[in-house]
């Protein structure tokens, strides 16, 4: 089954997923791992070059890996890709490799999953300059309302950092955002996606079933919509 079933909890970004009844997990593969996508347990996956694992010499090999698996039938998006000012090579190298992944995303008409740490200006400048056609999904978000709304205004979707979104202080942010632009994730941590849904559904004033319906709708819109190449 390569798409969520009605009533599934969707974990939009995880690593080393385990099969859990009622949970539709999206596995993330990082290019430096050189994994065989046919060996993952999740029904679908994303694949990209994480900025932490660039060293200025390996970008060619990592991009070759992404292109090699880009036509996999169960690959729904590229990434995580992006910018990190705390870890990784120079921003110049990060931008060059990021731009290539944006190009591949456009060639295959599939969204791009974003990793961004303290480089939001650079991310938004890249979005402005590169003018991507497929939408971007910012994963692990834990920022402020104004930033979230800026990203959404640019057509991006947001998935929240699991530890941030279960805190009481995240409730105000969630209430200020359109539910049709959000996703939830575990990022491979030892946490239960069902507990995250329970907290977020209360923030939105929805039942858990209604939140599942909304995120399933978001999934179809972002990942299953046919796009012109």
Domain ranges of the chain: 12-192
Per DSSP, 159 falls in state E
Q: Is 19 helix (H, G, I), strand (E, B) or coil?
A: coil
Length, in residues, of the chain: 229
Q: What is the CA radius of gyration of the chain?
A: 17
User: What CATH number was assigned to the domain covering residues 12-192?
Assistant: 3.20.20.140
| Res. 20 pLDDT band, cuts 50 70 90 | confident
pLDDT of residue 1: 53
> Using CA atoms, how far apart are residues 32 and 184, in angstroms rounded to an integer?
25
Asked if residue 229 has pLDDT above 70, the reply is no
pLDDT of residue 225: 80
At 227, phi and psi to the nearest 5? Answer: -125, 145
Instruction: Kindly compute the dihedral angle of the four CA atoms of residues 66, 67, 72, 75, in this order, to the nearest 10 degrees.
Output: 40
Residues sharing a CB contact under 8 Å with residue 63, sequence separation 6 or more, in sequence order: 31, 49, 97, 100, 101, 104
Strand-pairing partners, residue 82, are 115
Residues sharing a CB contact under 8 Å with residue 57, sequence separation 6 or more, in sequence order: none
> Using CA atoms, how far apart are residues 118 and 204, in angstroms rounded to an integer?
28
Structure tokens at 135: 């939408």
Global pTM value: 0.94
In whole numbers, what is the pLDDT of the chain averaged over residues? Answer: 94
CA angle 218–220–223, rounded 5-degree value = 100
Instruction: Kindly compute the dihedral angle of the four CA atoms of residues 8, 220, 112, 24, in this order, to the nearest 10 degrees.
Output: 10
pLDDT of residue 2: 81
What tens digit of pLDDT does each residue of 102-145 get?
999 999 999 999 999 999 999 999 999 999 999 999 999 999 99
Report the candidate in 25, 62, 57 with the shortest Cα–Cα distance to residue 47.
62
Residues sharing a CB contact under 8 Å with residue 26, sequence separation 6 or more, in sequence order: 10, 11, 12, 13, 14, 42, 44, 45, 46, 76
């Amino acid at each position: 089954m390569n798409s969520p079933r009605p009533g599934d909890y969707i974990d939009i970004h995880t690593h080393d997923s385990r099969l859990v009844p009622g949970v539709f997990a999206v596995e993330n593969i990082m290019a430096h791992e050189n994994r065989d996508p046919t060996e993952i347990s999740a029904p679908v996956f994303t694949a990209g070059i994480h900025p932490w694992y660039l060293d200025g010499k390996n970008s060619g090999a990592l991009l070759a890996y992404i292109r090699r698996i880009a036509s996999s039938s169960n690959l729904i998006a590229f990434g995580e890709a992006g910018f990190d000012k705390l870890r990784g090579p120079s921003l110049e190298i990060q931008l060059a490799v990021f731009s290539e992944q944006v190009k591949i995303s456009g060639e295959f008409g599939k969204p791009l999953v974003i990793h961004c740490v303290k480089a939001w200006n650079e991310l938004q400048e890249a979005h402005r300059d590169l003018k991507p056609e497929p939408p971007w999904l910012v994963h692990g978000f834990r920022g402020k309302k104004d930033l979230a709304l800026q990203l959404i205004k640019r057509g991006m979707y947001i998935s929240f950092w699991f530890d941030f979104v279960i805190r009481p202080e995240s409730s105000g942010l969630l209430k200020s955002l359109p539910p049709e632009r959000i996703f939830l994730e575990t990022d491979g941590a030892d946490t239960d996606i069902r507990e995250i849904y329970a907290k977020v559904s209360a923030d939105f004033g929805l039942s858990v079933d209604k939140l599942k319906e909304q995120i399933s709708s978001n999934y179809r819109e972002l990942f299953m919509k046919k796009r012109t190449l």
